[in-house]
Amino acid sequence: MVNINGFRMRKRRFYSFLINIKFKTLRKRQITVYKNGYIKTDFGSKLILNDCFLFINKCHFENHYNPLPSLLWLEKNSSLTFCSDHFTLCEGSRIHVRKNANLIIEGKGFINTETEIDCYENISIGKGTIISSKCYITDSDQHIVVEGSEDKVKTKPIKIGKNVWIGRNVIVLKGVEIGDNSIIGAGSVVTKSIPPNTMFAGNPAIQIKDNISWKF
């Protein structure tokens, strides 16, 4: 596990860490890891930054001196790709990309405090999407569910569109597609796909409004 806080890391360890990272262009401080932020990259994993500035464990509120630990973990042969501009993992947030899985984040957004993204197969998140605190997003049931004599499919990809606002304490489950410019109300459990320009809320989430958008 690597914690890049300042320049105290040994050179050999730093170079072995960089083997797992691909930069389109190398710019000063392209990855910034704040206090109690950690990155773990297993053998064969790839962290790809295409002109994206990545901030890990950045405090969402000023004057917060003891941030919760945050982790970005890429298991064997997995990949995490950031496509543009900048993205922030706020304090206490976690991204876990499982073996052979792929997570794509288009950038220019953030995930807030104590939110977790757990990717088993394939998750994509569009540009400008913000994910509030204490959310959980996973594309897997994690265990095999049996209905009658048949095993259900364990994992299904998740696609979250552009400029989506996901409220506090939202859970997004496998196989869901969330359309561009949508809003997911706080405390919702999203089990089915959501059209663009709509507001959904509840457990399970149902449509509240349509023909809407939002501004940050």
Domains of the chain: 11-210 (2.160.10.10)
pLDDT of residue 163: 94
Three state DSSP letters for the chain: CECCCCCCCCHHHHHHHHCCEEECCCCCCCEEECCCEEEEECCCCEEEECCCEEEEEECCCCCCCCCCCEEEEECCCCEEEECCCEEEEECCCEEEECCCCEEEECCCEEECCCCEEEECCEEEECCCCEECCCCEEECECCCCCEECCEECCCECCEEECCCCEECCCCEECCCCEECCCCEECCCCEECCCECCCEEEECCCCEEEEECCCCCC
pLDDT of residue 1: 38
pLDDT of residue 215: 84
Tens-level pLDDT at each residue, the chain (216 residues): 343 333 333 444 444 455 566 666 666 568 888 888 888 888 889 988 887 888 888 887 665 567 788 999 999 999 999 887 788 899 999 999 999 999 999 978 889 999 999 999 999 999 999 999 999 999 999 888 887 778 778 899 999 999 999 999 999 999 999 999 999 999 999 999 999 999 999 999 999 999 998 887
pLDDT of residue 125: 96
